[in-house]
């Protein structure tokens, strides 16, 4: 083969040809190449097992890893959809807009709107001004009294958080461990997860969970309640599961 | 909780009792009880049980229906099939998802006196020392 004919890029066809040349020069060595159109190699037949089926080793169970499913709500058009796999680039199927997937961390004063389908964390001492927050998960240890939380799937309140509960919609609320809150207005939330202490009148549409070390004072109305051993309650409960 | 071996007294599901039961050891109730139960041991209220009265026990596991108050020295377990209409007072509480419960609860696992959380803020619901928090750094976003 002349030098001019040598390809600059080794593609799949040329690499297969090269392997065949090596095999033809040294039969019995090198990698095996299956001829096109031939049947795939069949595994050799195993001799019948000597042991009865009851003593045979258990069948090998294959492992399949399913990609992570993310429930996403577009902050532009409020369309809810499910995205499978990595949150690298997410396109809203309705409004055709690429959504921000960044996780944001705010450590000081901030007055600009924040829109993401990731996590926003307001650090202790940080103050979020009069701007819009849209996030899948909002972790608050700072001041968000002036913030307008337009949409947030899960709101996690840490010790030291300052907030106005009337600015929230119906969210899933998490009271982190070591946090203590006294919420005066009646609170309605989708799910409630208490690891710290909460004094409130709460109506929960989904699940209410009081973890070990968590404590609820006040009133709780809902359909599903789980109290882990070590969790405490002082107040009035009305738990009526929806018997459909 | 009381196991089958340790239960000395059993009220079967075809038994109905009107009156007060006082029991010095573990008891299991699968029938109907119209009256109070006082038990120095563990009490198990089975799926088919129906109790209209108050329970004073060491520990109790409720799987059936109870219309009355429960006072337990140690632990109260409400299983997923439990229907509880009344007040509960105990040291430890476990509630499974699926229970029906209407009443008041006083459960304090730590045994510490109940303290009211302090630090009501400007918005009426603020955390401890948070009102004095001031921004010290400019806003910062990072991935």
Specify the pLDDT at position B61: 96
pLDDT digits (tens, 9 = 90+) for A11-50: 777 788 888 888 788 776 655 655 555 555 555 556 555 5
User: Using the beta-carbon criterion (under 8 Å), do A180 and B100 form an inter-chain contact?
Assistant: no
Q: How many CB atoms lie within 10 A of CB B54?
A: 18
The whole-number pLDDT of residue A37 equals: 53
pTM of the model: 0.71
Say if the Cβ atoms of B109 and A230 lie within 8 Å.
yes
Inter-chain residue contact A240 with B102, CB threshold 8 Å: yes
Each residue's pLDDT tens digit, A188-219: 999 999 999 999 999 999 999 999 999 999 99
* Interchain contact B19–A (C-beta under 8 A): no
Task: Tell me which residue of A142, A97, A94 sits closest to A121, measured CA to CA.
Answer: A142
CB contact under 8 A, A227 and B95: yes
For residue B96, the tally of other CB atoms under 10 A from its CB is: 16
Q: Which of residues 63-102 of A touch B (CB under 8 A)?
A: 102
In this complex, do A233 and B107 lie within 8 Å of one another by their Cβ atoms?
yes
Residue A96, H or E segment: none
Is A231 an 8 Å CB contact of chain B?
A: yes
Of B98, B120, B142, the CB nearest to A182: B120
Confidence class for position A182, pLDDT limits 50, 70, 90: very high
Q: What is the pLDDT of residue B18?
A: 95
Collect all residues of chain B within an 8 Å Cβ-Cβ radius of residue A237: 101-105
- Mean pLDDT, range B55-72, rounded to an integer: 95
Q: Which of A33-37, A83-87, A184-188 has the highest mean pLDDT?
A: A184-188
Does B128 sit within 8 Å of A180, measured CB to CB?
yes
B93 vs A125, A161, A227: nearest CB? A227
For residue B47, the model assigns a pLDDT of 94
Question: What share of chain A has pLDDT > 90, as a percent?
Answer: 36
Res. A220 pLDDT band, cuts 50 70 90: very high
Of A142, A179, A237, the CB nearest to B133: A142
In DSSP notation, chain B reads ---TTT--EEE-TT-EEES-EEESS-EEE-SEEES-EEESSEEEE-TT-EEES-EEESEEEE-SEEES-EEESSEEEE-TT-EEES-EEESEEEE-TT-EEEEEEEE-TT-PPP-------TTS-B-TTTTT----SB-----
Instruction: Give A 136-165 residues with CB within 8 A of chain B.
Output: 142-143, 145, 157, 159-165
Bridge partners (DSSP) listed for residue A182: A199
Closest residue by Cα to residue A238 from A216, A222, A215, A214: A222
Say which range, A10-19, A63-72, B45-54, B121-130, has the weakest mean pLDDT.
B121-130
pLDDT of residue B132: 38
Q: What does DSSP assign to residue A144?
A: -
- Tell me phi and psi for residue A14, to 5 degrees: -70, -35
Residue A91 C-alpha, separation from nearest chain B C-alpha, in angstroms: 19
In angstroms, the separation between the Cα of residue B91 and the nearest Cα of chain A is: 9
- DSSP character at residue A5: G
Q: What is the pLDDT of residue A85?
A: 83
Residue B142 — very low, low, confident or very high, per pLDDT cuts 50/70/90? very low
């Amino acid at each position: 083969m002349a030098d001019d004919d040598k390809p600059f890029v080794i593609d799949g066809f040329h690499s297969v040809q090269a392997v065949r040349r090596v095999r033809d020069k040294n039969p019995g060595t090198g990698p095996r190449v299956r001829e096109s159109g031939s049947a795939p190699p069949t595994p050799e037949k195993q001799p019948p097992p000597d042991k009865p089926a009851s003593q045979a080793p258990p069948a090998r169970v294959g492992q399949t890893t399913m990609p992570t499913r993310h429930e996403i709500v577009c902050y532009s058009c409020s369309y809810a959809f499910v995205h499978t796999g990595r949150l690298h680039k997410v396109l809203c199927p309705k409004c055709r807009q690429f959504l921000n997937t960044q996780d944001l961390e705010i450590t000081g004063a901030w007055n600009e709107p924040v829109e993401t389908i990731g996590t926003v964390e307001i650090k202790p001492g940080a103050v979020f001004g009069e701007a819009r927050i849209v996030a899948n998960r909002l972790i608050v240890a700072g001041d968000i009294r002036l913030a307008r939380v337009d949409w947030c799937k899960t709101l996690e309140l840490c010790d030291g958080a300052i907030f106005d509960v009337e600015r929230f919609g119906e969210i899933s609320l998490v009271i982190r461990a070591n946090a203590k809150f006294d919420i005066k207005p009646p609170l309605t939330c989708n799910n409630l997860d208490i690891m710290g202490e909460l004094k409130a009148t709460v109506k929960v549409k989904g699940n209410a969970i009081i973890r070990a070390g968590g404590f609820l004072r006040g009133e709780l109305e809902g359909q599903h309640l789980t109290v882990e051993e070590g969790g405490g309650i002082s107040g009035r409960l009305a738990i009526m599961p929806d018997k459909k | 909780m009381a196991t089958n071996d340790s239960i000395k007294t059993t009220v079967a599901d075809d038994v109905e009792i009107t009156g007060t039961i006082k029991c010095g050891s573990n008891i299991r109730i699968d029938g109907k009880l119209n009256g109070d139960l006082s038990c120095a041991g563990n009490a198990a209220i089975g799926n088919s049980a129906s109790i209209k009265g108050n329970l004073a026990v060491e520990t109790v596991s409720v799987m059936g229906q109870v219309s009355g108050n429960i006072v337990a020295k140690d632990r109260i377990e409400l299983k997923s099939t439990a229907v509880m209409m009344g007040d509960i007072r105990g040291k430890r509480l476990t509630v499974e998802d699926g229970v029906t419960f209407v009443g008041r609860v006083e459960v304090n696992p730590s045994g510490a006196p109940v303290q009211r959380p302090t630090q009501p803020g400007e918005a009426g619901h603020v955390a401890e020392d948070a009102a004095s928090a001031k921004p010290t750094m400019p806003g910062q976003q990072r991935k």
